[in-house]
Structure 1
Amino acid sequence: MSRLDSMLRRFTAQRDGLNWSADHIAASEGDILDMGLGNGRTYDHLRELFPNRRVWVIDRVLKCHPSCVPPAEDFLQGEAEPMLEKLAASGHKIALAHYDFGFGVKEKDVAEAARLSPLIARVMQPNGLIISGQPLVGLTPIAGPQGIPKDRYHFYHL
C-alpha cells in the first residue's frame, strides 16, 4: 500500500471514529482532549462535533493553520507528561480523548503511547472514551465503528 493510501485510510478511520464518538458520549459530561495538534485538522473537527464542550489541546509547539489556533487557556504547550499532569491537577475531567502524538517512528510512537497511558487514564472521567492512533496499555479496548480495519485505530473505555 502506498503511503498516500495509508494516510487516507488513517484519516478516514480517524474521522469515522470521532464522528462515532459523538453519539457515545452525548449523555456524559466532561471536556474533550486532543493530544497532538499538528496542523489543527482534528481539533477543527472536534470543535464542530462538540460546539458546547471545552476542547483542550496538548502539543509541544503551536504550528497549526491560523484558523485552528485554540484559545490560549485551552492550549497546554509542552511535553506530554507534564501537560497531562497539569490537566489532571486542574480537576477537569475528560469525556473524550483523542491521542495522536507521534515521532513518525513506529517503535518510538508505540513506546511513548504505552508510557503515557497511565497519565491519560488519570485525566479521564469514569467510562470516558479514548480514541488513539497508537495502542494504549491498561485501558479497556472496545469495538469502534464498523469498517475501520483492525489496528488502524484503537478505541478504549476507561
Structure 2
Amino acid sequence: MSRLDSMLRRLSAQRDGLNWAAGQIADLPGDVLDMGLGNGRTYDHLREILPDRRIRVMDRVLQCHPSCVPPEADFLMGEAEEMLDRLADEGARFALAHYDFGQGIKADDVAEAARLSPRIARVMAPGGLLVSGQPLTGFEQVPGPETIARDRYLFYRA
C-alpha cells in the first residue's frame, strides 16, 4: 500500500472513529481532550461534531492552521507528561480523548503511548472513550465502528 493510500485510510478511520465515539458519549458528562493538535484538522472536526463540549487541546507547540487555533484557556502547550499532570491536578475529567502523539517511528510511538497511558487514565471520566492511533495500556479495548479495521485505529473505555 502506498503511503498516500495509507494516509487516506488512517484519516478515514480517524473521522469514522471520532464520529462513532461522539455518539457513544452522548449521555456521559465531561469535556473532550485532543492530544496532539498538529495542524488542527482533528480539533476542527471535534468542534463540529461536539459543539456543546469544551475541547481541551495539548501539543508541544502551536503551529496549526489559523482557523483552528483553540481558545487560549483550552490550549496546553508543553510536554505531555506535564500537561496531563496539570489537568489531573485541576480535576479535569474527559468523556472523550483522542490520542494522536507520535513521530512516525512505530517503536518509539508505541513506547510513548505506553508511558503516557497511566497519566491519561488519571484524567478520564469513568466510562469515557479513548480513540487512538497507537496502542494504549491499562484500558479496556472495545470494538469501534465496523468500517474500521481492528488494527487501524484503536478504541478504549476508561
User: Aligning the two structures, in what range does the TM-score lie when normalised by the shorter sequence?
Assistant: over 0.9
Find the counterpart in structure 1 of residue 77 from structure 2: 77
Find the counterpart in structure 1 of residue 14 from structure 2: 14
Determine the C-alpha separation between the residues in 2 that align with 1:3 and 1:150.
Answer: 19
Q: Does 1:143 align with 2:132?
A: no
- The structural deviation recorded for 1:92 is 1.7
CA RMSD of aligned residues (A): 0.5
Find the counterpart in structure 2 of residue 117 from structure 1: 117
Matched position secondary structure for 2:127: strand
Matched position secondary structure for 1:131: strand
TM-score (norm 1): 0.99
Is the CA contact (8 Å cut-off) linking 2:143 and 2:150 kept in structure 1? no
Determine the C-alpha separation between the residues in 2 that align with 1:66 and 1:73.
Answer: 16
Structure 2 portions without partners, runs of 5+: none
Find the counterpart in structure 2 of residue 101 from structure 1: 101
- The structural deviation recorded for 1:150 is 1.9
- The structural deviation recorded for 1:39 is 0.4
- The structural deviation recorded for 1:9 is 0.3
Determine the C-alpha separation between the residues in 2 that align with 1:62 and 1:22.
Answer: 25
Moved over 6 A (4+): none
What is the identity, as a one-letter code, of the residue corresponding to 1:70?
A: P
- The structural deviation recorded for 1:151 is 1.1
Determine the C-alpha separation between the residues in 2 that align with 1:54 and 1:4.
Answer: 33
Aligned length: 158
Determine the C-alpha separation between the residues in 2 that align with 1:88 and 1:44.
Answer: 24
- The structural deviation recorded for 1:142 is 0.2
User: Sequence identity, in percent?
Assistant: 69
Determine the C-alpha separation between the residues in 2 that align with 1:64 and 1:51.
Answer: 20
Q: Does 1:86 align with 2:86?
A: yes
Determine the C-alpha separation between the residues in 2 that align with 1:118 and 1:40.
Answer: 25
